[in-house]
Amino acid sequence: MATQTVTKVDKRSEAELVTQTGESWVYSETVKDHFFNPRNLLLEMPNPNEYDGIGMVGSPACGDMMKIWIKVDHKTEKIADMKWQTFGCGSAIASTSMMSVMLTENGGMAIEDALKLRPQDIMTRLDGLPTRKVHCSVLGDKALRKAVNDYFRKTDQHDRILVEGAKIVDKVLNITDHDIEEAVLDGAHDLEAVQAKTKVGTGDPACLPEVEQLIRYYMEKYFG
């Protein structure tokens, strides 16, 4: 009987495991393809004047880092080319590889449309990501916005620069809504977990209702 039980457990499908644990942990074939065969990866540093915009997020000292370069067709304002480098995991590599394909396929994506690209759109094209790796699809998205802003600055289109200001939530510790967002993306999905990462509310408990509202907002935004 014991042997039969072990055999039965071994033969459970991945779908059954996802259902029972409540979390997807399996990499899709598309993710693995873009990890082992990354598209538009830049192996050497380019000439500074070769690209119209450069964007970088993160730091290798504290985790994933992403840097991307974009070329823009100035007549059509479509992204003619995008190259990238990353210091990150397989999910970050696959996500950015797929994003580069989405931006440059079919003659290139218009800048206005590129700025509307969401992490969920990238994950859909990848046939999903493990829940704990969702934040990896956000990395390239943020780097892209910085590269587009860099293009706007270089072409004197300052009125089009996207300003993503942070709001201070905890006025004692100067913790912002962006800090809460990063904590949620890093796996903190309730108030206790967010407090463990940020210490938010320990000096300013009056901010906790707003923090809980932000957690619900970012959970819905990134995890549906």
Domains identified in the chain and CATH numbers: 23-160 (3.90.1010.10), 168-223 (1.10.10.1100)
Residue 163: per-residue pLDDT: 66
Would you call 136 a catalytic residue per the annotation?
Answer: yes
Q: Rounded mean pLDDT of 142-157?
A: 90
pLDDT tens, residue by residue, 174-198: 888 988 988 888 789 999 999 998 8
126 to each of 17, 99, 102, how far by Cα in Å?
20, 10, 11
Residue 130 has pLDDT above 70, yes or no: yes
Burial of 61 (0-12, 13-18, 19+ CB in 10 A): exposed
pLDDT classification of 24: cutoffs 50, 70, 90: low
**Residue pair 134/142 in contact by the 8 Å Cβ criterion:** no
Give the model's pLDDT for residue 25: 57
Confidence of residue 94 (pLDDT cuts 50, 70, 90): very high
Give the active site residue among 136, 144, 147, 200.
136
Q: What is the pLDDT of residues 99-115, one digit of tens each?
A: 999 999 999 999 999 99
CA angle 223, 18, 8 (to 5 degrees): 175
Q: What percent of the chain lies above the pLDDT cut of 90?
A: 44
The whole-number average pLDDT for the span 143-152 is 91
Q: What pTM, to 2 d.p., does this model score?
A: 0.67
> pLDDT per residue over 162-176, tens digit each?
867 678 898 888 888
Q: Is the pLDDT of residue 212 over 90?
A: yes
For 164-222, where are the E strands, in sequence order?
A: 168-170, 175-176
How many Å from the N-terminal Cα to the C-terminal Cα in the chain? 42
Give the pLDDT mean for 59-85. 87
Residue whose entry in the numeric block shows the structure tokens 């619900």: 216
Determine the pLDDT at residue 111: 97
Taking CA atoms, 192 is separated from 143, 158, 182, 201, in Å, by: 30, 41, 15, 11
pLDDT higher for 142 or 48? 142
Catalytic entry in 3, 62, 75, 163 = 62
For 37-52, the pLDDT digits (tens) are 999 999 888 887 899 9
For the cut 70, the answer to whether the pLDDT of residue 87 exceeds it is yes
89 is catalytic: no
Residue 135 banded pLDDT, cuts 50, 70, 90: low
Tokens at 171, concatenated: 């006025």
Question: What average pLDDT does range 10-23 have in this prediction?
Answer: 37
